[in-house]
Amino acid sequence: MANTAQQTQQNDEVIQAQQVVDGLLRKARVAQQQFANASQQQADDAVTALAWSLYRSDNAKRLAELAVEDTGLGKVADKIIKNTRKTFGTLRDLSRAKTVGIIEEQPELGLVKYAKPVGVVAAVTPSTNPSATPVNKAMMAIKGCNAIIIAPSPAGLRTTSESVNLMRQGLARVGAPADLVQVLPAPVNKAATNALMRSCDLSVVTGSQNNVKGAYSSGKPAIGVGVGNVCVIIDATADLDDAAAKICQSKTFDNSTSCSSENSLVIVDEIYDDAIAALKSAGGYLCSADEKEMIQESLWQNGKLNRHLIAKDADLFAHKIGLGTGSETARFFMVEETGIGDDYLFSDEKLSLVLTVYRAGDFRQAKKTLSRMLNYKGRGHSCGIHTSELAHATELAEELEVVRVLVNQAHTFGNGGGFNTGLPFTLSMGCGTWGGNSISENLNYRHFLNITHLVTTIAEDKPSEEELFGEYWKKYGR
C-alpha cells in the first residue's frame, strides 16, 4: 500500500508539473513569436537590458547577498565580481556578433547564411551561480531572438527568481515582451525540470550530471556540460611566485565554487620545495598527514561532499576541521597525495579550499599524472600548466583528451573567457564527447541559432580522377 501511495503521489507531481510548464510555455511561445522578427538593434537593446539588470551595482550586490544567504555557498564580494565580470564580458562578445538576418555571405561558394531562432530554450542552472548563470544564458538566448525558461536549483530559487524579475523589467523597459524570460515557480523539483526539458525546443544544462543526462534523454536537442576536476602542472621553468599568486587567486575565488577552480597540482621534483614555499607565501597551508586524515573524515560524509564544509571561508573550514596553528590565517589548504582513483578521495573534485598536490620526477611524469587525473575525473574539461617552455604546453594540447589547456593563467578567470584570451565569456564549459557533451567549446550565442543556407550555383568545381586518386594509384596501384 505504501508503494502504491508513493507512486500515486509521484504521478500527481508529474501531472501538476506538466500543467505548470504548459502555462509557461504558452506565454513563452507568444512572446517569442512577437520577437522572432526583431531587428538586430532591437535584439541588442534587449540583451543590453538583461546585462544591465545584473551589472548595475546595487542589483549585483543584492543578488550576491541573496545567493550566499540562500545557498550558503561562496563569498558575497566574489559573487559581485562574478555577476559583473561575466556579464560585462558576455555583453562585449555579443555586441560584436550578428544574429539577425544575413550573418555571413560566401559568394565564392554561392552561399548566404541566415540566422533564425531555435524557439523556446530550457536553461537548467546550478546553486553555485543562481544569478550569473541565468542572466548569462538569457543574454545568449535573447541575442538569437529566442525565449527562455529558467529551471533553478531549489536552493537558488529565490535568487534566480529575483534575477528573472529584474530581467523582465529590463525587457519591458526597451519594449520587448517580458515573457521572453521566465522561471519555474516553486516547488522546483525533478518532475518540473524534466517536464520543462521535454517541452522546450532546446535544453541547456549547467550543474548536476543527473540533469545533464535527463536533458540528453528528454527527446529534445540538448547541450550539457561535463565534470570539472582541473589539474595544473608547475614545471621546472615556471615563474614560481607568479604561478603561486595565480593559483591562490583562482583557488580562493568564491571559495572554489567554480568547476574551473584548480583541484590538483602536479609539481616537478626539481622545483618542488621552492614551489611549495611560494604557495605558502601566497597563502597556502601545507597539512600534515594527520591533518589530511582529519580533512578526509570531515569533508566526505557517506561518500558525498559535506555541504557544511564545501565553499566555506578558509577560517571557518580550518576551525571546523581542527587544523593546527597557522591554519587560521591561511587562504587555502594543501594536502600531498600519491594515488588517483576511487580509493583516493583527494583526487576528485572537492568544491572547497583544499588543493591536492602531487610530486613528479620530471615533465614527462607530470604529464602522465595529469592524464591519469583526467581519465579518472574531469575528462574533456580543462587542465593547465605554468611554464616558460611553450613546447610543454603544446605537447599537452596535442596529446591530452581535453578541450582547454591554459598556459600561465588563473584557471577560474581564464577558462570561462577573459579579456586577455580569445575564449568567449561563458558560465558553461562544453567538454566534448570525452566528457559526454555535444559541444567541445565554451557555450556561446551560436548554440542558440538555427542557420538557413541559401545555395546558388557556382562555376563547376569537379577535379579529375587523376587529381584525386593519382597519388593513391602511385603508392598502392589501381
Give the catalytic positions in this structure: 259
Strands 262-268 and 230-234: parallel
- Which residue do the cell numbers 544567504 mark? 69
Question: Do residues 285 and 330 make contact, with C-beta atoms less than 8 angstroms apart?
Answer: yes
Secondary structure class of 386 (helix, strand, coil) = strand
Other residues' Cβ atoms within 10 Å of the Cβ of residue 288: 12
- Which residue do the cell numbers 564527447 mark? 433
Secondary structure class of 231 (helix, strand, coil) = strand
CA–CA separation, 171 vs 178, rounded Å?
5
Nearest to 204 by CA among 259, 149, 132, 260: 149
Strands 202-205 and 262-268: unpaired
Strands 449-455 and 111-117: antiparallel
Secondary structure class of 465 (helix, strand, coil) = helix
In degrees and rounded to multiples of 5, residue 128 shows phi and psi of -70, -25
CA 409, 448, 123, 194 dihedral sign is negative
Question: Do residues 222 and 193 make contact, with C-beta atoms less than 8 angstroms apart?
Answer: no
